[in-house]
Amino acid sequence: MREYITRIGRQTLTFFAYLGGLSILALETTFWIFVPPIKKERIFEQAKQIGLDSLFIVSLVAFFTGMILALQTAYLMKKLSSEIYIASIIALSLTRELGPVLTALIVAGRSGAAITAEIGTMTVTEQVDALKTLATNPVKYLVVPRFLALTLMLPVLTIYADLIGIFGGYLIGVNRLSISPSMYMATTFDTLVNKDIVTGLIKTVFFGMIISLVACYEGLNVEGGAEGVGKSTTKSVVTTFIFIIVADCFFTALFYFFF
């Protein structure tokens, strides 16, 4: 019993120490964002790697998610003779929930892991220490461009994913459920309001912050050489997934009860 309580206490302290480290990194990143010079070319480079290079996998997942959602909802809606509401369900589900969360998880698994591996390799090969000896702050040089790129590009990717997902549902609704194209589109856009789109995009801004901070923090704190890089990369992805789901639950409850 004593060992069990000790283990719980140790894990609790480790968790709060981890949150403390992330908070310190977040404060340092916020400070260095406003300290000139701002290397725009590094931000654009990261934005390309995070945004443009992720378009294919985001398109694929969003398109089939829209199709699957249409097929699943059609099963019930046909029993109720309410097939026309499939368009509304798909639009709301994608813009408010599935679009932001799935896009964030894809980017976390793809770009977040890459960021951790890249910075982690620089850490174990002492390149981060070399930056310090050259009077270059690692947070300013490594974290800030990735933080800004993820925070800016994730909402853009989410809008793109929402459109592709709605198009996937449109194909099923029109071709398999005998809904007229004009009726499908009219139902889709009549259902959506600014709140649905804005709340989803607000989530993605915070998701982008979570991905960048966790990925960079794990990369800067790698220990144990190449093996440590692998462990930190795995930990980065798992931790980011957990934080994204928890944050999504928090913001969904917040928007539901207060907005």
pLDDT digits (tens, 9 = 90+) for 221-235: 988 777 888 899 999
Spatial neighbors of 113 by CB under 8 A, at least 6 apart, are 215, 233, 236, 237
Measure Cα distances from 246 to 7, 202, 203, 209, 241 in Å: 24, 15, 11, 14, 9
The more confidently predicted of residues 189 and 159 is: 159
Q: How does DSSP classify residue 224?
A: S
Task: Give the pLDDT mean for 152-164.
Answer: 94
Task: Give the pLDDT mean for 247-257.
Answer: 90
Per-residue confidence band for 207, with pLDDT thresholds at 50, 70 and 90: very high
What is the per-residue pLDDT across 97-156, written as a single tens digit (0 to 9) for each? 999 999 999 999 999 999 999 999 999 988 888 888 888 889 999 999 999 999 999 999
Q: How does DSSP classify residue 112?
A: I
| Encoded amino acid at 180, one letter | S
Report the pLDDT value the prediction gives residue 192, as an integer from 0 to 100. 85
Q: How does DSSP classify residue 178?
A: -
Contact 244, 108 (CB under 8 A): yes
pLDDT of 244 over the 80 cut: yes
Pick the closest to residue 212 from 126, 133, 154, 253 (CA basis).
154
What residue segments make up the domains of the chain, in order of their start?
A: 42-252
Per-residue confidence band for 37, with pLDDT thresholds at 50, 70 and 90: confident
pTM for the whole structure: 0.92
Per-residue confidence band for 173, with pLDDT thresholds at 50, 70 and 90: confident
pLDDT of 205 over the 80 cut: yes
Mean of pLDDT over the chain: 89
